[in-house]
Structure 1
Amino acid sequence: MELGILSLSDLQTSRDTGRKVGAAQRIADTIEYAVLGEELGLDVFALGEHHSLDFAVSSPAVVLAAIAARTQRIRLTSAVTVLSVLDPVRVYQDFATLDLVSAGRAEIIAGRSAFTEPFALFGEDMADYDALYAEKIDLLLRLRADDHVTWTGKFRPPLRDAPIAPRAVQTEMPVWAGVGGSPGSAVRAGLLGLPMILGYIGGPLSHAKQAVDLYRETGERAGHPERLRVGISTHFFAGATAKAARDVYPYYHEYLRPKTPGGRGFLVNRAAFEAGTARGQAIMVGSAEEIAEKILDARDMLGIDRFFGQFDWGGLPRSLVEESLHRYGTEIAPAVRTAT
């Protein structure tokens, strides 16, 4: 099983200084976290894409290229590429270039976005939410397969024997489907034979099994049993003790709370947070031993091939983030690898 870390590059107000962290500092820290992840022996680094002032990264491929120049082994992926609002030709070119820069370590996790801002920004209609993604994932997979493409769709000008350059180092650069839990998304991933990453930030792990089972059943009926892989991503923090880990609750509350009246977010009280960190629940916040047990539980229950810990949320100080990553690399990862 592959073990990875995932950052969404959220910009929060520092609890120490009372000032919002700037994008330049946030990106610099993110690059250092990825370098540390490789040094600690983790397998994958994933970076989110957002198009609002609450996040530092709108172009994961650019930041991942900077990370590629500082690393040699760790795989590099978006999480997710908001494919519904982007031109698949440009997406393929950007990540093929990253693949060249990184000597074959690039991946794409393609999703539809849980936010509305990108649709307005790029002039796409939310009424076409599903149709946009369906058409663009079809084109992206064609671009990955062929160096000359002829294609016609509804939302993009046609291609007529168009040369697609540069070509990735990898013969088939991995494209994963990013799924938020909707049955339709799991079915599509299975029909296409794409590996699936399930973003699951809260609730019992057993609830995620419904989407995973549907994905596997669909993929097997579609003739893709050998191509099916499952990953899961959830909030992560490894503390020196169980209590020390759960004491990061103020950062978790800050991360999820709505920042504007009526804005996107959730108010999570401490009791709900601590309940969500219990065994059988999705939030991976606890001691190294607790988290290792929960990752193994997820493997047994869901048959996951890849785990992502979303590790640097809510304005957590860099010192705490790095301590958590060290526990992941030196305690959690060895325990999980030994057990598997």
Structure 2
Amino acid sequence: MSTTTPTPASTEVAFPLTFGLDTFGDVTSDADGHPISHAQTIRNLVDHGVAAEKAGIDSFNIGEHHTNDMPLSASDVVLSAIAARTERIRLGSAVTVLSSDDPVRVFQRYSTLNAISNGRAEVILGRGSSIDSFPLFGFDLADYQDLFEEKTNLFAELLEGGPVTWEGRTRASLHDQDVVPHLETALPTWIGVGGSPESVIRAARYGFSLMLAVIGGPATRFAPYAGLFREALSQFGHTPKPIGLHSPGHVAATDEQALDEFWPRYLEVITNVSETRGFAIPTKASFLREVRDGALYVGSPETVATKIAANMTTVGANRFDLKYAMGGLSDEALLTNIRLFGGEVVPRVRELLA
């Protein structure tokens, strides 16, 4: 497999290149192909975070989900367990569904994680492309937009520090309220965007960083969003902020092995969520097109590194997060993925982008 390197996008500020691993806590399989328990899934994730640091990866991020196949309803608790066993790696959400949560509690949980990890926490806020948390916590989908807008506004106020006075429609007001624990170091905050220009503008308005979730189609279509973000930051009077790409994939020793391991799991997962998420059930041909030209990073270290470097250049991104877990894969395959991504893919991308 090959990837053509496009013309670079212009960037005003050269941020350091960073590379992360994202997971939604997908339930994996044992040696006999049977799903493991939720408890073992969570214990394995702690080991994955430790393995990611050993592999030299910059960040490890767990996205909030509330389903039987993705039982990560308390990501910050798992990240705290990883923090206790690591020293360097950054630990974040990918994403926190702020619309169905309380901004004060999200701030308190991640400021606590920031204290435990000695300043290594970060948070990615999202509206929730998976809406399972809305009925669970009693929120009306008709308020989808208003919930995120108001709660993002309050979260931005909390990050400023000091007593907070805030008024809105979606939660109780705050009047000169001291919210603890206080931040000792900054809590980097991102907005996760799946393709909405309004969300890009929102991230810029609050001066947050931008994480582009590219889960289908070519990354090139997100380059205009990056340009819009940089322009909007300037218009709002903010300094430049990092831009990241998040996409699913799987790294193995060879292209053939990676495809053979990933394709049946990918087909099963997408088929299971196709009705609720509106996804088309993939064919083998459409899958291979996504690997070649679209959002899937599946292959050997060289194949995956070449594609990452090309798409980071196209978009003008300085961060790339691989969503490395796919339900049904074995824990051994995921640990190999982590080792190859950190030990071979990331160094090769740095070399290609030097």
Match of 1:10 among 10, 15, 26: 26
- For normalisation by structure 2, the TM-score amounts to 0.90
1:73 and 2:91 aligned? no
CA distance in 2, matches of 1:48, 1:259: 17
Is the partner of 2:70 in helix, strand or coil? coil
One-letter amino acid matched to 2:128: S
Match of 1:204 among 215, 218, 221: 218
**CA-CA distance at 1:77 after TM superposition:** 0.4
CA distance in 1, matches of 2:105, 2:251: 37
One-letter amino acid matched to 2:199: S
Match of 1:111 among 107, 126, 131: 126
One-letter amino acid matched to 2:208: L
Residue in structure 1 matched with residue 78 of structure 2 by the alignment: 63
Gap runs ≥5 in structure 2: 1-16
Residue in structure 2 matched with residue 85 of structure 1 by the alignment: 100
Alignment deviations for residues 14-54 of structure 1 (CA, whole Å, 9 cap, x no partner): 38545332111111111111100000110000101012223
Match of 2:320 among 287, 294, 307: 307
**CA-CA distance at 1:91 after TM superposition:** 0.6
CA distance in 2, matches of 1:15, 1:254: 17
1:298 and 2:314 aligned? no
Residue in structure 2 matched with residue 237 of structure 1 by the alignment: 250
Residue in structure 1 matched with residue 53 of structure 2 by the alignment: 38
CA distance in 1, matches of 2:91, 2:125: 14
**CA-CA distance at 1:169 after TM superposition:** 2.4
**Among the aligned pairs, what percent are the same residue?**
38
Structure 1 runs of 4+ aligned residues shifted over 6 Å read: none
One-letter amino acid matched to 1:5: L
Residue in structure 2 matched with residue 215 of structure 1 by the alignment: 229
CA distance in 2, matches of 1:162, 1:28: 37
Match of 1:322 among 329, 332, 335: 335
Gap runs ≥5 in structure 1: none
CA distance in 1, matches of 2:342, 2:148: 36
CA distance in 2, matches of 1:182, 1:268: 24
Residue in structure 1 matched with residue 191 of structure 2 by the alignment: 177
One-letter amino acid matched to 1:39: K
Contact 1:200–1:233, Cα closer than 8 Å, also in 2: yes
CA distance in 2, matches of 1:298, 1:153: 40
Contact 1:44–1:75, Cα closer than 8 Å, also in 2: yes
CA distance in 2, matches of 1:47, 1:266: 26
Contact 1:258–1:266, Cα closer than 8 Å, also in 2: no
CA distance in 2, matches of 1:162, 1:276: 49
Match of 2:173 among 143, 152, 158: 158
CA distance in 2, matches of 1:245, 1:338: 23
Residue in structure 1 matched with residue 295 of structure 2 by the alignment: 282
Is the partner of 1:258 in helix, strand or coil? helix
